[in-house]
């Protein structure tokens, strides 16, 4: 079965550089979530998209931006990188039809393998 | 606000012993709860989820969890640990779609 694809898997950047992380959801999934997991920490929600529109926003720095494209893939753009941005970045996808119907949000989120970003 | 708390950042059991990983939740509305497992350098895999259909939830790899409203708990158990169960386990609650994770519990299994 197709899974969530993230690229690149590993990325090394210098401080103040920019980085772009890509996420390709499972086919027919219309909702994408981004999470950041620092070393030894739990994943923290950054931002989400449903049908190419931002649906929720968490503790995402202003230096970061993201979007979901017409083919439902999503990109997380990170500028002015700082040492503290070094983390594992996960993308998760699901079918978000419940967001419009009002039914409960318990659809399983399928996680990608993550992109490990190291800022030097 | 919804949150989950995992008691014990590290749990060590012997192979064949009972696994018990603790999770307590805080929620003003009926919660939707999840347990995820993370193996080293891998993504998160869903073990099981509680969506109010049944209080005892069975998941993959022999794991199960029981939702106890009176105790605001959703502990994860497995009768007999295998070496392959060694991993990081996260309890999570759905808050408007996004997942709010606990701090994680690292399970180690001794031969």
User: Which of the pair, A41 or A103, is modelled with greater confidence?
Assistant: A41
pLDDT band at A16 (very low <50, low <70, confident <90, very high): very high
Closest CB to A56: pick one of B46, B96, B104.
Answer: B96
Per DSSP, helices labelled H in A1-120 are 98-101
- Residues A73-85: what's their mean pLDDT? 97
Site of tokens 């970061």:
A64
Show the tokens assigned to A36.
């950041």
Q: Determine the pLDDT at residue A106.
A: 61
The candidate with the shortest Cα–Cα distance to B61, out of B31, B41, B35, B99, is B35
Q: Is the pLDDT confidence value at B85 over 90?
A: yes
Q: Which of A87, A88, A105, A112 to mutate to test the interface with B (most CBs of B within 10 A)?
A: A105
| Chain A positions in Cβ-Cβ contact with residue B44 (cut-off 8 Å) | 43, 90, 92, 111
Q: In this prediction, what percent of chain B has a pLDDT beyond 90?
A: 79
Cα atoms found within 13 Å of the Cα of residue A119, Cβ hemisphere only: 18
Nearest to B33 by CA among B102, B104, B105, B106: B102
């Amino acid at each position: 079965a197709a899974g969530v694809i993230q690229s690149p898997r590993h990325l090394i950047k210098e401080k103040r550089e920019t980085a772009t992380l890509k996420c390709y959801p499972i086919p027919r999934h219309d909702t994408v979530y981004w999470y950041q997991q620092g070393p030894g920490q739990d994943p923290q929600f950054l931002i989400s998209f449903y049908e190419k529109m931002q649906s929720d926003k968490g503790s995402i720095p202003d230096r970061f931006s993201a979007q979901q494209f017409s083919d439902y893939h999503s990109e997380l753009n990170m500028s002015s990188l700082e040492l503290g941005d070094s983390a594992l970045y996960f993308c998760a996808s699901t079918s978000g039809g419940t967001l419009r119907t009002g039914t409960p949000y318990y659809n399983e989120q399928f996680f990608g393998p993550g992109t490990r970003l190291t800022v030097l | 606000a919804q949150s989950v708390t995992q008691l014990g950042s590290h749990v060590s059991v012997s192979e064949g012993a009972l696994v018990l990983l603790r999770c307590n939740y805080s929620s003003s509305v009926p919660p939707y709860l999840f347990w995820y497992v993370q193996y080293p350098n891998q993504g998160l895999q869903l073990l099981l989820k509680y969506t109010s259909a049944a209080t005892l939830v069975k998941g993959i790899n022999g794991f199960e969890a029981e939702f106890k409203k009176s105790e605001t708990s959703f502990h994860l158990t497995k009768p007999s640990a295998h070496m392959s169960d060694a991993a990081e386990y996260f309890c999570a609650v759905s808050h408007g779609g996004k997942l709010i994770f606990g701090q994680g519990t690292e399970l180690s299994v001794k031969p």
